[in-house]
Structure 1
Amino acid sequence: MLASLLNKFVCAVSFSTALWPGFPPLPFPRSRLPHWHLPWKSTGGIPQQVYDELVRYTQYSSAVYQPLCPNPLGNELVTEFTNLLTGVHGFVARDDGRQEVIVAFRGSQQLPDMLTDSNMLLIPLDSVGPPLNGSGDARVHAGFGVAFGSVSDLVLDIVVEQLRQYPSYSVVLTGHSMGGALAAIGGTLLKANATGAAVRVFTFGQPRTGDANFADLLDKLIGSDNVFRAVHTWDGVPTIIPRSLGYHHHSTEYWHFQEPPSRKNVRQCTGQEDPKCSAAVPSTGINLAHDVYFGQVMTTDATLCL
């Protein structure tokens, strides 16, 4: 059974690497399937409420891919934002029923370009947004940092204004792929500059975004209990940027380690780089698992905007 699943995975990866030839090939030949010692059996999964939240913000992260999204998940669209030079796009929405302001960042078809040598440099977090006291030596991916910096003033000003009008509301930042990296950077800067706001971050297929200092800072400011970094089975993007380059994931990973989508098939991982979770799977770059999260196709569902 396991060999059959792995063969299907290899076929999917072969297809994806054909589409993105710049990404690394399979780390093993098809004739030699690896014997990974992974915790396949569920240990009870995660609470249904947490699973439902993951599904909900997966839908926001999918909706933001649409060219027009007048009513994200049926809620109020506050504004959309776009920077044509960096390709950043997203929206700010407001859910009055849940008393939330939601900031969603679109993933990018330019992700392969973001992984070139020049963009892989780590730059100070202070250089990509408003001044940040206590950031220490926190550094982030140059490409992601510049991308967020191109919309940072606009996005943060809009969110702060929403909180001024609705002071009891909380803020959720979310995104898929590169959008997840932008949500992580944005959540850190927002929490640092609007400390009274309750902030949560939900990301899906997020690549490593910064160094260990950035990971520690994000966990400290937002709180690891308020950060939900989801990884779908074999998705290679979360580990495509290696730790050997100085990168380090922040907390808290929720690994959907096997199908079908269910709370019982999701594991809440420990710490920042849990060796018993997706970090144990060799990265194969962008693959089919990257395009679907919790049963939601990430780029094509226009019904989420009606």
Structure 2
Amino acid sequence: MLFGGIGGFLAVLLVIIVGLFASPSNDSVDIEDRTDWEPPTEEELTPKELLALGWSSHDPIAHWPVASLMLELSDIAYLPPATAREKIRELGWESESINAGSMQGYVIDAGDDSIVTFRGTEGHEYDIVQDLRFIGVNTEQGAMHGGFAKGYDSMHDQVVELLERYQTKRVWLTGHSLGGGLAVVCAYRLLEGTTYPIAGMMTFGQPKVVRSQLVEYLGPKLIGKYVFFVNDMDPVTRVISPYEHFGHMVRWNDNDIERSQMLLMSAGADSPAAGQEAGYIEGMTQADFQELLRSVEESNTPKFDENGNQLVQGFVPNVFDHYLDAYREMLEQLRTHSNR
């Protein structure tokens, strides 16, 4: 899991500039108003019933019970294949793994729906951050991050074969961290070359994946169907420029629920911006990124005082915001939070 090992606690040092962790300005997002909202008292729903619930990323209240299911499947994707498939079977579904080098995921047969969940990168923190370098690949509709594109590319035929086998009518996509990046690439490939409609894409702690031209292509195709969750000061969601976020952002920021803004009111119907969104968390510059690489690399070299005692290296606690457990807590806040 990204920043998941013990070394991750010390990985991000104070040398990262304050701007990396700065909150967005108040006028860049909408603050969700829950003054007259009562937390729901929900009956226990089966995974199949959760998939059948109607939802839109632009619902006035960002509480979608199916998000907890997507988070659970993102968590399962980190498990060894035999264990993961057994966990999925306990949910009532069969699945097959998809693999390409170190990339892994699962295609789940959920009746008329299929769910594709991707595992985030696991390994040494420095190797993980290296995966996020500024390498691009071009598509007919625009550029995307080469690491995600190439990581997914060898899995695409496996995904399509399983969707055909399962006689899929709708597709759900999910993933945490780099798994969320793979989900975005998968969405692009499915929209570009297949007839499978996307029922929903929910990602957690996802880095930025595409350039602006590809945003103009993908954004309108995923209106209402794509939400990426940002937990407080999660630094991974700020990696990396010149790539961009798109879709609908929901961010838990202390006691506020922040949401990106639709541009339908400020753009003409024929404008490329129509139906897109604005108001995302601030990005990381290339200089910041190089500083992050350096700090992560140096954090693995022990430092000692004049008496030979190893120094405890400082860390920015925001790395905890990236953990899946932190996103699980975020979804619980979305379910129960009220301004009353």
TM-score when scaled to structure 2?
0.63
Are the counterparts in 2 of residues 180 and 203 from structure 1 also a CA contact under 8 Å? Answer: yes
SS in 2 for 1:65: coil
2:69 to 31, 56, 71: 56
Query: For residues 29-48 of structure 1, what are the structure 2 equivalents within 5 Å?
Result: 37-38=25-26, 42-44=32-34
Query: For residues 218-233 of structure 1, what are the structure 2 equivalents within 5 Å?
Result: 218-221=218-221, 223-233=222-232
Match in the other structure for 2:145? 141
- Structure 1: any 5+ residue segments left out of the alignment? 1-11, 126-134, 260-264, 298-306
What is the letter of the counterpart of residue 26 of structure 1?
I
Match in the other structure for 1:183? 183
2:95 equivalent to 1:82: no
Looking at structure 2, the residues matched to 34 and 102 of structure 1 have their Cα atoms a distance apart, in angstroms, of 35
Question: Structure 1 segments of 4 or more deviating over 6 A?
Answer: 33-36, 280-286
Match in the other structure for 1:237? 236
Match in the other structure for 2:261? 270
1:122 to 111, 118, 136: 136
2:127 equivalent to 1:113: yes
Are the counterparts in 1 of residues 205 and 229 from structure 2 also a CA contact under 8 Å? Answer: yes
2:167 equivalent to 1:171: no
What is the letter of the counterpart of residue 189 of structure 2?
L
Match in the other structure for 1:104? 117
- Structure 2: any 5+ residue segments left out of the alignment? 38-58, 263-275, 293-317, 332-340
2:79 to 66, 69, 73: 66
Looking at structure 2, the residues matched to 57 and 118 of structure 1 have their Cα atoms a distance apart, in angstroms, of 24
> Which entry has the higher C-alpha Rg, 1 or 2?
2
Are the counterparts in 2 of residues 248 and 273 from structure 1 also a CA contact under 8 Å? Answer: no
Between the two proteins, the alignment pairs up a number of residues equal to 252
Looking at structure 1, the residues matched to 30 and 284 of structure 2 have their Cα atoms a distance apart, in angstroms, of 12
2:17 to 15, 18, 27: 27
- The one-character-per-residue Cα deviations of 1:5-46 (angstroms, maximum 9, x if unpaired) are xxxxxxx9xx9876336x8833139xxx97875479652286
What is the letter of the counterpart of residue 145 of structure 1?
A
Are the counterparts in 1 of residues 24 and 281 from structure 2 also a CA contact under 8 Å? Answer: no
What is the letter of the counterpart of residue 59 of structure 1?
E
Looking at structure 2, the residues matched to 196 and 247 of structure 1 have their Cα atoms a distance apart, in angstroms, of 26
- The one-character-per-residue Cα deviations of 1:167-212 (angstroms, maximum 9, x if unpaired) are xx31101000100000011011112222352442111111011211
2:206 equivalent to 1:192: no
Looking at structure 2, the residues matched to 170 and 198 of structure 1 have their Cα atoms a distance apart, in angstroms, of 6
Identity %: 19
Are the counterparts in 2 of residues 170 and 197 from structure 1 also a CA contact under 8 Å? Answer: yes
- The one-character-per-residue Cα deviations of 1:246-305 (angstroms, maximum 9, x if unpaired) are 21112111112226xxxxx53331156734x533899897711000213289xxxxxxxx
Looking at structure 1, the residues matched to 260 and 174 of structure 2 have their Cα atoms a distance apart, in angstroms, of 19
Are the counterparts in 2 of residues 103 and 174 from structure 1 also a CA contact under 8 Å? Answer: yes
Worse-matched range after superposition: 233-242 or 285-294: 285-294
Are the counterparts in 2 of residues 123 and 140 from structure 1 also a CA contact under 8 Å? Answer: yes
1:290 to 322, 337, 340: 322
Looking at structure 2, the residues matched to 236 and 145 of structure 1 have their Cα atoms a distance apart, in angstroms, of 21
Match in the other structure for 2:155? 151
Q: Residues 25 and 159 of structure 1: is their aligned pair in 2 closer, same or farther, counting only changes over 3 Å?
A: farther
Looking at structure 2, the residues matched to 108 and 280 of structure 1 have their Cα atoms a distance apart, in angstroms, of 21
Looking at structure 1, the residues matched to 196 and 104 of structure 2 have their Cα atoms a distance apart, in angstroms, of 27
Are the counterparts in 2 of residues 229 and 252 from structure 1 also a CA contact under 8 Å? Answer: yes
Looking at structure 2, the residues matched to 230 and 124 of structure 1 have their Cα atoms a distance apart, in angstroms, of 27
1:279 to 282, 306, 309: 282
